[in-house]
Structure 1
Amino acid sequence: MALQLWSTLKEAIVVYTGLSPTTFFTLLVILFTLYYIITSLFGSSDTHQSHGNSRDFGAEMEPLKPPVQIGEVTEEELKDYDGNNPDKPLLMAIKGQIYDVSQSS
Protein backbone atom coordinates (compact mmCIF):
# COMPACT_ATOMS: atom_id res chain seq x y z
CA MET A 1 0.00 0.00 0.00
CA ALA A 2 2.76 2.45 0.98
CA LEU A 3 4.81 1.61 -2.11
CA GLN A 4 1.80 2.18 -4.35
CA LEU A 5 1.14 5.53 -2.65
CA TRP A 6 4.80 6.53 -3.09
CA SER A 7 4.83 5.62 -6.79
CA THR A 8 1.57 7.57 -7.30
CA LEU A 9 3.07 10.56 -5.49
CA LYS A 10 6.23 10.42 -7.64
CA GLU A 11 4.17 10.34 -10.82
CA ALA A 12 2.00 13.25 -9.62
CA ILE A 13 5.09 15.34 -8.82
CA VAL A 14 6.48 14.77 -12.31
CA VAL A 15 3.14 15.47 -14.00
CA TYR A 16 2.18 18.60 -12.04
CA THR A 17 5.61 20.22 -11.57
CA GLY A 18 7.75 18.81 -14.36
CA LEU A 19 10.48 18.12 -11.78
CA SER A 20 11.94 14.87 -10.59
CA PRO A 21 10.91 13.90 -7.06
CA THR A 22 14.47 14.47 -5.81
CA THR A 23 14.55 18.00 -7.25
CA PHE A 24 11.06 18.74 -5.94
CA PHE A 25 11.87 17.73 -2.36
CA THR A 26 15.24 19.50 -2.47
CA LEU A 27 13.53 22.73 -3.52
CA LEU A 28 10.91 22.19 -0.83
CA VAL A 29 13.61 21.89 1.86
CA ILE A 30 15.46 24.97 0.53
CA LEU A 31 12.27 27.05 0.52
CA PHE A 32 11.36 25.95 4.03
CA THR A 33 14.87 26.80 5.26
CA LEU A 34 14.76 30.24 3.62
CA TYR A 35 11.35 30.87 5.16
CA TYR A 36 12.64 29.94 8.61
CA ILE A 37 15.72 32.18 8.25
CA ILE A 38 13.72 35.16 7.02
CA THR A 39 11.08 34.85 9.72
CA SER A 40 13.79 34.60 12.39
CA LEU A 41 15.42 37.79 11.14
CA PHE A 42 12.29 39.84 10.53
CA GLY A 43 9.72 38.06 12.67
CA SER A 44 7.63 39.59 15.40
CA SER A 45 9.63 40.64 18.43
CA ASP A 46 7.09 39.25 20.88
CA THR A 47 7.70 35.71 19.65
CA HIS A 48 11.43 35.88 20.41
CA GLN A 49 11.54 37.16 23.99
CA SER A 50 14.47 35.00 25.13
CA HIS A 51 16.98 37.82 24.65
CA GLY A 52 17.01 38.88 28.30
CA ASN A 53 13.80 40.89 28.12
CA SER A 54 11.27 38.86 30.08
CA ARG A 55 8.48 41.43 30.43
CA ASP A 56 4.95 40.11 30.30
CA PHE A 57 3.29 42.33 27.71
CA GLY A 58 -0.15 40.94 28.53
CA ALA A 59 -0.01 42.26 32.09
CA GLU A 60 -0.73 45.86 32.96
CA MET A 61 2.34 48.04 33.30
CA GLU A 62 2.88 50.09 36.40
CA PRO A 63 2.41 53.84 35.91
CA LEU A 64 5.46 55.93 35.10
CA LYS A 65 7.06 57.88 37.91
CA PRO A 66 7.03 61.64 37.45
CA PRO A 67 10.29 63.18 36.21
CA VAL A 68 12.78 64.15 38.87
CA GLN A 69 14.21 67.66 38.86
CA ILE A 70 17.73 67.48 40.28
CA GLY A 71 19.33 70.58 38.77
CA GLU A 72 23.03 70.59 38.11
CA VAL A 73 24.94 67.62 39.45
CA THR A 74 28.57 66.71 39.62
CA GLU A 75 29.99 63.50 38.26
CA GLU A 76 30.19 62.09 41.79
CA GLU A 77 26.53 62.95 42.50
CA LEU A 78 25.48 61.35 39.20
CA LYS A 79 27.01 58.05 40.35
CA ASP A 80 24.24 57.80 42.98
CA TYR A 81 21.68 57.50 40.14
CA ASP A 82 23.11 54.28 38.63
CA GLY A 83 19.95 52.18 39.04
CA ASN A 84 21.05 50.26 42.15
CA ASN A 85 18.61 52.17 44.37
CA PRO A 86 14.98 51.54 43.32
CA ASP A 87 13.90 54.84 44.91
CA LYS A 88 16.18 56.87 42.63
CA PRO A 89 15.86 57.12 38.85
CA LEU A 90 18.45 55.74 36.46
CA LEU A 91 20.17 58.75 34.92
CA MET A 92 22.61 58.97 32.01
CA ALA A 93 24.67 61.95 30.96
CA ILE A 94 25.53 62.44 27.29
CA LYS A 95 27.53 65.49 26.23
CA GLY A 96 26.50 67.46 29.29
CA GLN A 97 22.79 66.61 29.08
CA ILE A 98 21.25 64.35 31.72
CA TYR A 99 18.57 61.87 30.65
CA ASP A 100 16.24 59.75 32.77
CA VAL A 101 16.46 56.26 31.29
CA SER A 102 14.69 54.44 34.14
CA GLN A 103 12.07 52.89 31.87
CA SER A 104 14.76 51.47 29.57
CA SER A 105 16.71 49.64 32.23
Structure 2
Amino acid sequence: MVAQGIAEAVQAFTGLSTAAAVTILALMLATYLLVSSLFVAPEAASPSPAPLPKSTQLRQEEEQKHEEKEEEEQQEEKEEPAAFVPYPESVQLGEITLQQLAAYDGKDPSKPILIAIRGQVYDVSRGRLFYGPQGPYSLFAGRDASRALALMSFDPIDLTGDLEGIGPDEIEVLQDWEDKFKERYPRVGHLASENATYGNHNDA
Protein backbone atom coordinates (compact mmCIF):
# COMPACT_ATOMS: atom_id res chain seq x y z
CA MET A 1 0.00 0.00 0.00
CA VAL A 2 2.79 2.43 0.95
CA ALA A 3 4.75 1.67 -2.21
CA GLN A 4 1.65 2.12 -4.35
CA GLY A 5 0.96 5.44 -2.65
CA ILE A 6 4.51 6.65 -3.33
CA ALA A 7 4.29 5.57 -6.96
CA GLU A 8 0.99 7.45 -7.41
CA ALA A 9 2.46 10.54 -5.71
CA VAL A 10 5.53 10.51 -7.97
CA GLN A 11 3.36 10.12 -11.07
CA ALA A 12 1.05 12.91 -9.97
CA PHE A 13 3.95 15.26 -9.13
CA THR A 14 6.22 14.61 -12.13
CA GLY A 15 3.86 13.26 -14.73
CA LEU A 16 6.29 10.36 -15.21
CA SER A 17 5.93 6.69 -14.54
CA THR A 18 7.70 5.31 -11.49
CA ALA A 19 10.29 3.51 -13.63
CA ALA A 20 11.08 6.66 -15.61
CA ALA A 21 11.40 8.77 -12.45
CA VAL A 22 13.79 6.21 -10.85
CA THR A 23 15.90 6.08 -14.03
CA ILE A 24 16.23 9.88 -14.17
CA LEU A 25 17.12 10.00 -10.47
CA ALA A 26 19.84 7.36 -10.96
CA LEU A 27 21.30 9.29 -13.90
CA MET A 28 21.36 12.52 -11.89
CA LEU A 29 23.13 10.77 -9.00
CA ALA A 30 25.73 9.25 -11.33
CA THR A 31 26.36 12.64 -12.97
CA TYR A 32 26.79 14.28 -9.57
CA LEU A 33 29.32 11.68 -8.44
CA LEU A 34 31.28 11.98 -11.70
CA VAL A 35 31.46 15.78 -11.56
CA SER A 36 32.31 15.94 -7.85
CA SER A 37 35.18 13.47 -8.32
CA LEU A 38 36.85 15.98 -10.63
CA PHE A 39 37.12 18.57 -7.86
CA VAL A 40 38.36 16.56 -4.87
CA ALA A 41 41.96 16.26 -3.64
CA PRO A 42 43.59 18.37 -6.38
CA GLU A 43 47.00 17.73 -4.81
CA ALA A 44 46.53 14.01 -5.38
CA ALA A 45 46.02 14.60 -9.09
CA SER A 46 49.06 16.86 -9.45
CA PRO A 47 52.10 15.17 -10.92
CA SER A 48 54.80 14.12 -8.49
CA PRO A 49 57.99 16.18 -8.65
CA ALA A 50 60.58 14.95 -11.08
CA PRO A 51 63.22 12.78 -9.41
CA LEU A 52 66.63 14.31 -8.86
CA PRO A 53 69.41 13.16 -11.16
CA LYS A 54 71.21 10.14 -9.75
CA SER A 55 74.50 12.04 -9.43
CA THR A 56 72.79 14.78 -7.39
CA GLN A 57 71.12 12.19 -5.14
CA LEU A 58 74.43 10.43 -4.52
CA ARG A 59 76.13 13.74 -3.78
CA GLN A 60 73.44 14.75 -1.30
CA GLU A 61 73.56 11.33 0.36
CA GLU A 62 77.35 11.56 0.74
CA GLU A 63 77.15 15.06 2.21
CA GLN A 64 74.36 14.03 4.58
CA LYS A 65 76.36 11.00 5.78
CA HIS A 66 79.35 13.25 6.32
CA GLU A 67 77.27 15.72 8.33
CA GLU A 68 75.77 12.97 10.50
CA LYS A 69 79.13 11.36 11.20
CA GLU A 70 80.69 14.68 12.15
CA GLU A 71 77.86 15.37 14.58
CA GLU A 72 78.37 11.93 16.14
CA GLU A 73 82.10 12.55 16.42
CA GLN A 74 81.63 15.95 18.05
CA GLN A 75 79.23 14.38 20.56
CA GLU A 76 81.75 11.65 21.36
CA GLU A 77 84.47 14.25 21.93
CA LYS A 78 82.26 16.11 24.39
CA GLU A 79 81.82 12.90 26.37
CA GLU A 80 85.58 12.12 26.47
CA PRO A 81 87.56 12.97 29.64
CA ALA A 82 89.06 16.47 29.52
CA ALA A 83 92.59 15.10 30.15
CA PHE A 84 92.52 12.99 26.96
CA VAL A 85 93.93 14.74 23.89
CA PRO A 86 92.27 13.02 20.89
CA TYR A 87 94.46 14.54 18.17
CA PRO A 88 97.78 16.41 17.78
CA GLU A 89 97.77 20.15 18.26
CA SER A 90 97.65 22.20 15.05
CA VAL A 91 100.93 23.69 13.87
CA GLN A 92 101.27 26.39 11.24
CA LEU A 93 103.37 24.97 8.42
CA GLY A 94 103.37 27.84 5.93
CA GLU A 95 104.28 26.76 2.41
CA ILE A 96 104.30 23.00 1.83
CA THR A 97 104.89 20.78 -1.20
CA LEU A 98 102.71 17.86 -2.25
CA GLN A 99 105.55 15.52 -1.30
CA GLN A 100 105.67 16.98 2.21
CA LEU A 101 101.87 16.92 2.44
CA ALA A 102 101.86 13.15 1.79
CA ALA A 103 103.57 12.59 5.16
CA TYR A 104 100.44 13.88 6.95
CA ASP A 105 98.10 11.08 5.87
CA GLY A 106 97.09 10.01 9.39
CA LYS A 107 99.25 6.90 9.55
CA ASP A 108 101.61 8.54 12.04
CA PRO A 109 99.52 9.33 15.16
CA SER A 110 102.05 11.94 16.25
CA LYS A 111 101.40 14.03 13.14
CA PRO A 112 98.24 15.94 12.22
CA ILE A 113 96.09 14.83 9.29
CA LEU A 114 96.20 17.38 6.48
CA ILE A 115 94.15 17.86 3.32
CA ALA A 116 94.60 20.51 0.63
CA ILE A 117 91.70 22.18 -1.17
CA ARG A 118 92.38 24.70 -3.93
CA GLY A 119 95.86 25.36 -2.64
CA GLN A 120 94.93 25.80 1.02
CA VAL A 121 96.01 23.18 3.57
CA TYR A 122 93.68 22.25 6.44
CA ASP A 123 94.33 20.28 9.61
CA VAL A 124 91.47 17.77 9.73
CA SER A 125 92.82 15.80 12.71
CA ARG A 126 89.62 16.32 14.66
CA GLY A 127 87.84 14.55 11.84
CA ARG A 128 90.06 11.48 12.23
CA LEU A 129 87.02 9.17 12.11
CA PHE A 130 86.54 10.31 8.51
CA TYR A 131 90.07 11.05 7.31
CA GLY A 132 92.14 8.69 9.48
CA PRO A 133 93.45 5.33 8.18
CA GLN A 134 90.14 3.53 8.81
CA GLY A 135 87.87 6.41 7.83
CA PRO A 136 85.64 6.55 4.74
CA TYR A 137 87.57 9.58 3.42
CA SER A 138 91.07 8.32 4.30
CA LEU A 139 91.96 8.42 0.60
CA PHE A 140 91.97 12.24 0.77
CA ALA A 141 94.39 12.48 3.72
CA GLY A 142 97.80 13.88 2.85
CA ARG A 143 96.61 14.79 -0.65
CA ASP A 144 95.19 17.64 -2.67
CA ALA A 145 91.54 16.53 -2.83
CA SER A 146 90.16 19.44 -4.87
CA ARG A 147 89.11 17.55 -7.97
CA ALA A 148 87.95 14.48 -6.05
CA LEU A 149 85.70 16.55 -3.78
CA ALA A 150 84.28 18.50 -6.72
CA LEU A 151 83.35 15.25 -8.46
CA MET A 152 82.57 13.35 -5.24
CA SER A 153 85.01 10.79 -6.61
CA PHE A 154 87.02 8.13 -4.78
CA ASP A 155 89.13 7.37 -7.84
CA PRO A 156 92.82 7.97 -6.99
CA ILE A 157 93.30 9.57 -10.41
CA ASP A 158 91.09 12.47 -9.23
CA LEU A 159 93.28 13.22 -6.19
CA THR A 160 94.70 16.35 -7.72
CA GLY A 161 94.29 20.09 -7.64
CA ASP A 162 93.73 20.19 -11.40
CA LEU A 163 90.21 21.47 -12.04
CA GLU A 164 90.42 21.49 -15.83
CA GLY A 165 87.15 20.41 -17.41
CA ILE A 166 85.20 20.82 -14.17
CA GLY A 167 81.78 22.39 -14.74
CA PRO A 168 80.04 25.11 -12.71
CA ASP A 169 77.93 22.57 -10.80
CA GLU A 170 81.03 20.70 -9.64
CA ILE A 171 82.75 23.98 -8.73
CA GLU A 172 79.73 24.82 -6.57
CA VAL A 173 80.05 21.44 -4.82
CA LEU A 174 83.75 22.09 -4.24
CA GLN A 175 82.94 25.53 -2.83
CA ASP A 176 80.51 23.94 -0.37
CA TRP A 177 83.23 21.55 0.78
CA GLU A 178 85.74 24.38 1.10
CA ASP A 179 83.29 26.45 3.16
CA LYS A 180 82.79 23.49 5.50
CA PHE A 181 86.54 23.02 5.88
CA LYS A 182 87.02 26.72 6.64
CA GLU A 183 84.29 26.55 9.27
CA ARG A 184 85.39 23.34 11.00
CA TYR A 185 89.13 22.94 10.55
CA PRO A 186 92.10 25.28 11.03
CA ARG A 187 94.02 26.34 7.95
CA VAL A 188 97.69 25.61 8.61
CA GLY A 189 99.41 26.44 5.34
CA HIS A 190 99.28 26.54 1.57
CA LEU A 191 100.71 24.53 -1.28
CA ALA A 192 103.96 25.64 -2.85
CA SER A 193 103.52 27.61 -6.04
CA GLU A 194 104.85 24.79 -8.24
CA ASN A 195 102.01 22.60 -6.98
CA ALA A 196 99.32 25.26 -7.33
CA THR A 197 97.46 23.86 -10.34
CA TYR A 198 94.13 24.50 -8.68
CA GLY A 199 92.74 27.23 -10.93
CA ASN A 200 91.17 30.47 -9.78
CA HIS A 201 90.85 30.84 -6.04
CA ASN A 202 89.93 33.78 -3.85
CA ASP A 203 91.35 33.58 -0.35
CA ALA A 204 88.93 34.48 2.41
Same fold per superposition (TM over 0.5)? no
Which structure has the higher relative contact order (CA within 8 Å, separation 6+)? 2
TM-score category (smaller protein) = 0.3 to 0.5
Q: TM-score, normalised by structure 2?
A: 0.24
Query: Which has more radius of gyration?
Result: 2
Q: TM-score, normalised by structure 1?
A: 0.43
